[in-house]
Amino acid sequence: MAPTAAERELREWETFTSIFKSLIHENETLTNVDKVHYLVGQLKGPALTVCSGLAPRETIMI
């Protein structure tokens, strides 16, 4: 039986968050501004709509 769309999206989200955490979030050489730019650049659909209004600042913690 093939996974449902929701199951595929959940797996994709889990993969993305794991990669983001190890490559971006825990990377001490990146500023918070860099991290926000990377995150917003990976979004699409409603998530992008919500986050596209963020003004990246050094004070935003990801």
pLDDT tens for residues 33-53? Answer: 898 888 888 888 888 888 877
Q: Find the distance separating the first CA and the last CA of the chain, reported in whole Å.
A: 37
Minimal CA–CA distance to 11: which of 20, 2, 3? 3
CA–CA distance, 1 with 28 (Å, rounded to integer): 42
Mean confidence (pLDDT) of the chain:
82
Can you give the pTM of this predicted structure?
Answer: 0.69
Tokens of 41: 């650049």
Cα separations in angstroms, 33 against 9, 11, 36, 38: 27, 27, 5, 9
Domains of the chain, by residue range, sit at 30-57
Tokens of 8: 């595929």
- 18-27 pLDDT tens trace: 999 999 999 9
